[in-house]
Amino acid sequence: MPIETIFGNLQGLKPSQLKQLRRLYHQRIPGDRITTPEFAQRLAAVSTEINKPVCAYLNRRGQVIRVGVGTPRQTQIPLMELPRYGAERLSGIRCIATQLKSEANSDSALTSMALQRLDALVVLNVTASGFKKRGGAASGYVKEAYLAHLTPQDSRILTAAQGGKNITPSNYSAPSWSISPPMSLDMLSKQDFMDLVEGLEEEFRREYTALDVDSDHERVLIVGIMTGELSPQEFQDTLAEIAQLVDTAGGDVVQMLQQKRSRVHPQTVVGEGKVQEIALSAQTLGANLVVFDRDLSPAQVRNLEAQIGVRVVDRTEVILDIFAQRAQSGAGKLQVELAQLEYMLPRLTGRGQAMSRLGGGIGTRGPGETKLETERRAIQRRITRLQKEVNQLHAHRERLRQRRQNQGVPTVAIVGYTNAGKSTLLNALTNAEVYAADQLFATLDPTTRRLIIPHAVTGERQEILLTDTVGFIHELPASLVDAFRATLEEVTEADALVHLVDLSHPAWLNQVRSVREILRQMPVTPGPAIVVFNKIDEADSQTLAIAREEFPMAVFISADKRLGLENLRQRLGQLINYAVSSR
């Protein structure tokens, strides 16, 4: 791009006028001044001459870095091209704009200032002075000037936006700004500009430090779109879940925005106004990642990133990122990499550049991350190789299962929504030492342990094998299902299933449905299952009553408090008896 490009709408401008505009780039203002009267007058003159508003953007050294024809909104610097310093700083760029009709400061100019985190916005009200000389330039003078700048957010709003899981969807926190009374050019030029921006930045920093922000964590803004298919309660549940996913992935949720739409906008998912609101919120709160509650097409991601100016990822990427962080074993890493690559392959076009521009974090980590920029074909080759390895893993697990089956030991797999308490239950029943934690997807690799239960008929001790495995989630990403097929086969190959449900979770009933849906879609029909309600120590009596009525055959336990485990053993005996006899 030539250095003296004029931005905005240049239609109908004469070469001589363009030349005048380009000359603005040669102007230089003393570093500690907002503007000089001479510079302001010059802008006013050009603006009157072309009869259009003109904007000049200056850096802190007083150099003109951008000249545009149009309003601040029309000449705005694309967000992708702006430096991003986060909520505690300003962009180091100010805009001096002329305004030909003496209307009030329009909101759109102020919004542009907030979007770009400009140091300041100066609006010059220009009045054409009387007559136009024949053949000569019309002159105009600055009637009055306004100085606007951002002010720190009310810390209470920011604090409310802080705090991960407890966050509730809210209206976006509007940026706050202040506008000076009308000033003369002399007054404006005498202001110490450096004093102003340094003072402001100090306040921003103070507000920001008061928030106790962990700089290792990404600051995440979540966007939920409510389309027809979910009830308001179900929608809130999915929002809470995506917030928990972000939290698990290591991000701090700073805000949740939502929009109701009859259908998703094909280019940007949400409408234009909402995109702007997201961009503003991200700027105001210093968010560096926007997470959508649904899957996005590559084009949607590109459009959104261009308009919001921070990285945009979808729900699947967050889940894949958690898996990537969790994967410990070779098998786990292998499957996660495969899932990430399969997800990314169709999304590669043009993403690489934007990704490196916007930095790392959620959605970019994991065994697959360095492969991102390599060529599609190389990735395809890698996928083929990983698939081969997954097949080997599959064959290996198959042999293990075969051996167990030959020994005639019945197998039971614990399935359920993530965080239901599956690993805790395996530990409680078998003294295994599987990692159990209040995290989503704490377990990726299956663990199998022996368990002694009473025989349903004879009452004698019998041995079974109990397997704990990866948890399920609503709309489990397809690439994960595919990549984890070797692991999921532990489920389909088991003689019977324990479907464990966290009864203390508000969305427990939908979680039951989601798990059943995933089981239904498995290539091999799994064996018979019993529903086991866990965490009854934390479930309220009304929920317990509903569950008893809806699921009369279910077992009620607390794996953590070791309640109801003896009954569960008995019921496992009956289940195995039924499963083996109908095998």
Find where tokens 């009200």 sit.
125
- Contact call for residues 152 and 39 (beta carbons, < 8 A): no
Which residue, 142 or 415, has its beta carbon nearer to Mg ion? 415
Which residue, 7 or 441, has its beta carbon nearer to Mg ion? 441
Which residue, 373 or 538, has its beta carbon nearer to ligand GTP? 538
- Report the alpha-carbon distance of residue 143 to residue 184 in Å, rounded: 8
Q: Write each residue from 352 to 371 as x if it is in contact with ligand GTP (CB under 6 A), else as -, in one continuous string.
A: --------------------
Which residue, 342 or 445, has its beta carbon nearer to Mg ion? 445
- Report the alpha-carbon distance of residue 34 to residue 258 in Å, rounded: 39
Q: Binding to ligand GTP by residue 424, rule CB under 6 A?
A: yes
- Report the alpha-carbon distance of residue 322 to residue 319 in Å, rounded: 5
Task: Tell me the site size for ligand GTP, rule CB under 6 A.
Answer: 25
Angle at 78 (CA atoms; ends 73, 80), nearest 5 degrees? 150
- Which amino acid is located at 197 in the chain? V
Which residue, 41 or 418, has its beta carbon nearer to Mg ion? 418
What residues between 416 and 445 interact with Mg ion by CB under 5 A?
422-423, 442-443
> Which of 210, 437, 457, 524 touches ligand GTP by CB under 6 A?
437
SS3 state at 139: coil
Q: Write each residue from 447 to 486 as x if it is in contact with ligand GTP (CB under 6 A), else as -, in one continuous string.
A: ------------------------x---------------
Q: 456: number of CA atoms within 13 Å, CB side?
A: 13
- Report the alpha-carbon distance of residue 125 to residue 224 in Å, rounded: 41
Which residue, 418 or 543, has its beta carbon nearer to ligand GTP? 418
What residues between 399 and 418 interact with ligand GTP by CB under 6 A?
416, 418
Which residue, 84 or 474, has its beta carbon nearer to Mg ion? 474
Residue 303 binds which entry of ligand GTP, Mg ion, none, CB below 5-8 Å type-dependent:
none
Minimum distance from residue 417 beta carbon to ligand GTP (Å): 7
> Which of 491, 559, 568, 579 touches ligand GTP by CB under 6 A?
559
What residues between 512 and 541 interact with ligand GTP by CB under 6 A?
534-535, 537-538
Question: Which whole-number Å values give the CA distances from 232 to 225, 235, 256, 356, in the listed order?
Answer: 11, 5, 15, 37
- Report the alpha-carbon distance of residue 316 to residue 323 in Å, rounded: 11
- Nearest residue to ligand GTP by CB is 471
Minimum distance from residue 423 beta carbon to Mg ion (Å): 3
Question: Beta-carbon neighbour count of residue 406 at 10 Å?
Answer: 8
> Which of 99, 423, 487, 510 touches ligand GTP by CB under 6 A?
423
Which residue, 162 or 443, has its beta carbon nearer to Mg ion? 443
For 148, counting Cβ atoms within 10 Å of its Cβ (0-12 exposed, 13-18 middle, 19+ buried), the class is buried
Helix then strand count (H, E) for the chain reads 20, 17
Minimum distance from residue 411 beta carbon to Mg ion (Å): 18
Q: What residues contact 547, with CB distance under 8 A and at least 6 apart? A: 503, 508, 533, 539, 554, 556
- Report the alpha-carbon distance of residue 103 to residue 577 in Å, rounded: 83
Angle at 494 (CA atoms; ends 491, 496), nearest 5 degrees? 105
Q: Binding to ligand GTP by residue 421, rule CB under 6 A?
A: yes
Nearest to 472 by CA among 436, 441, 426: 441
Query: Residue 280, Cα to own-chain centre: how many angstroms?
Result: 16
Minimum distance from residue 437 beta carbon to ligand GTP (Å): 5
Residue 226 binds which entry of Mg ion, ligand GTP, none, CB below 5-8 Å type-dependent:
none
Minimum distance from residue 365 beta carbon to Mg ion (Å): 21
Q: Binding to Mg ion by residue 448, rule CB under 5 A?
A: no
Residue 387 tokens read as 């698939």
Minimum distance from residue 369 beta carbon to ligand GTP (Å): 23
Which residue, 142 or 530, has its beta carbon nearer to ligand GTP? 530
Applying CB under 5 A, which residues contact Mg ion? 422-423, 442-443
The contact set with ligand GTP (CB under 6 A) reads: 416, 418-424, 436-443, 471, 534-535, 537-538, 558-561
